[in-house]
Structure 1
């Protein structure tokens, strides 16, 4: 699995805290404990290492961006739970 990070586009607001630089991240490849040989679609999420917050991964970049700007924060998770969220997404995609 590998990740490619890029700065957020100017159209997407940054964190409320000054000096934070969240990134848009594309992850490609299988997460740990994924069934060997099973396909895995690339996913997108936004993360801020200083806030220790990320959005729940999704295969659509547009949805990942909308999850970051969602005022309810329903799709934000602690950065420490990102690996588990990827594993759950891959398992659900495999089951479908």
Structure 2
């Protein structure tokens, strides 16, 4: 799995003026993912100072909407587990 991160685009409001959340794109499958099953890239936004992230999504638009919806935030330490659940759902649907 490879992750690319970059600062949030100027049009997306950060969680706090002194925080620097990152837009993260994850490519590749989690270790538990079945071989040769699809696993599209996923995006999430995370702030390490707040300790929050959005639920990963293959859609950039959904990721941005989740950033503005606190009910769609998860603790950063839960990202790996949530990515595995999403990848399993994608593999089962294929």
Shorter-chain TM-score category?
A: over 0.9
Q: TM-score, normalised by structure 2?
A: 0.94
Q: TM-score, normalised by structure 1?
A: 0.92
RMSD between aligned residues: 0.9
- Once the 2 structures are TM-superposed, how far is the Cα of residue 32 of structure 1 from its aligned partner? 2.1
1:82 match: 79
1:7 match: 7
1:39-72 Cα offsets, whole Å, 9 max, x none, are 21000000001111000000001110110012xx
Distance 1:33 1:39 in 2: 13
Q: How many residues align?
A: 93
Task: Note if 1:55 corresponds to 2:54.
Answer: yes
Gaps of 5+ in 1: none
Task: Note if 1:93 corresponds to 2:90.
Answer: yes
